[in-house]
Structure 1
Amino acid sequence: MDAMSHSTHEGAAPAGRPRDPALERAILEAAVDVLMAQGLAKATVEEVARQAGTGKAAIYRRWPSKTALVIAAIRALHADVSVPDTGSLREDLVTCALHYSSGDERSTLLLASLLGAATHEPELRKAAYESIGRPPALALRSVLDRWIERGEIDPDAPVDIIAGVLPSYAFRQMVARREKLDEATIAALIDHVLLPALRHRRG
């Protein structure tokens, strides 16, 4: 990483400074291009700025570190996370799972690279979880809590453990195989792992 990659306070935008959405899109697109071409370790904010046709200061006003920029660029390739309410527990689970199969090949490769690097860098791991891992996990937990209230899920089921199965498998697939979850794998996880565990009643 470049010398300023771990800064978290420099370059804060002055109060009231107007944002330029077109410039932000250009920066994020340039970040994706640089990451794809050079990899996470070699990519620099300087090169992103050069390809975006701007200066480093414009980037640091928006993202205080290289880590923040990388995460923002990867998030921009994925759909926003929402909490589904389809009227069916299974379909809600499928919708949550499909988040892990969203994005194109670039998003898969970049996220795999980020997750791989995050295992050795605590700061990067924390930032990646808060921005990328936590939102879909919270959406899934919200779905499970709703269906507990509706009586569809056994209230004695170890929901915290079960809720971790889907993201853990998805990220393992991403890092180990650099692949997204496919629809067949999603169906197998939900029908043969999640639903039986959620609905099993002791005795």
Structure 2
Amino acid sequence: MSGTPGRPLSSELSEQLLSVAVDILAEEGWGRLNSDRIAARARAGKAGIYRRWPTMAALARHAVGRFRLVTVPDDGGSLRADLVSLVSRWTLPLDREERAVASIVGAARHEEQLREGLDDALVHPLAAAVDELARRSAARGEPVDPDRLALLGSVLQAFWWQRYTAAGDGAMSGEAVELVVDDVLVPIVALTSGARRPEPATV
């Protein structure tokens, strides 16, 4: 929080304002987030908002930056099982936090603070989860080539952005999720650092 000199800011009010901001983002979108609407819903003064966050982007960044939209799954015994668990959330409709994040994806292209919020909510947790899955795979004797691991992370992130920007509620069928894992994700990491693609046949 930025804050200004004066009496200490109430943490209870701060939490209330953040919760209201998330509600507005999730229900109405980034374009409807403003101090008037937040103040009315929270029954608070606008001055209290601007003492904490100088802009709506700063407020939204703080609100969504506290989310962790990707969690490391329990060890499933194989990289495929771990990937299925990692992306199992794709079978569920977007929840409140995800709808709030989805509302700022477009604006984040032009607003650095919103991008930072998305990084904290999705990009960094996803990268950490992918690294952990690779560590587990290496411990099982199946190391993942670093370049392929980076590609896996990029493809997973692209699917997550698609979840937030596509029409509908974001949910995929379980069959579709397993198809993505088997036909897209697993093949990306199928070649380890010691393997090479076969040379194309010559005629």
TM over 0.5: yes
1:164 to partner: Cα distance: 1.4
Say if 2:141 is the partner of 1:146.
no
Higher radius of gyration, 1 or 2: 2
Q: Quickly say closer, same or farther: Cα 1:30–1:125, change in 2 above 3 A.
A: same
Distance 2:7 2:143 in 1: 48
Q: Quickly say closer, same or farther: Cα 1:109–1:82, change in 2 above 3 A.
A: closer
Corresponding position of 2:153: 163
What does 1:7-156 align with in structure 2 at a 5 Å threshold? 10-11=2-3, 19-20=11-12, 23-36=13-26, 38-60=28-50, 63=53, 65-74=55-64, 81-88=70-77, 89-99=79-89, 104=94, 106-155=96-145
Distance 1:149 1:12 in 2: 50
Distance 2:64 2:50 in 1: 17
Give the gaps of 5 or more residues in structure 2: 199-203
Distance 2:147 2:104 in 1: 33
Corresponding position of 1:190: 181
1:128 to partner: Cα distance: 2.1
Distance 1:81 1:170 in 2: 10
Q: Quickly say closer, same or farther: Cα 1:80–1:169, change in 2 above 3 A.
A: closer
1:16 to partner: Cα distance: 8.0
The answer to whether the 8 A contact 1:148-1:155 is kept is no
Distance 1:84 1:15 in 2: 43
Distance 2:20 2:146 in 1: 49
The answer to whether the 8 A contact 1:74-1:107 is kept is yes
Distance 2:71 2:136 in 1: 14
- What TM-score, normalized by structure 2, do the two folds share? 0.71
The answer to whether the 8 A contact 1:170-1:181 is kept is no
The answer to whether the 8 A contact 1:82-1:139 is kept is yes
What is the identity, as a one-letter code, of the residue corresponding to 2:60?
A: V
Q: Quickly say closer, same or farther: Cα 1:105–1:19, change in 2 above 3 A.
A: closer
Q: Quickly say closer, same or farther: Cα 1:196–1:38, change in 2 above 3 A.
A: closer
What is the identity, as a one-letter code, of the residue corresponding to 1:167?
A: Q
Identity across the alignment (%) = 30
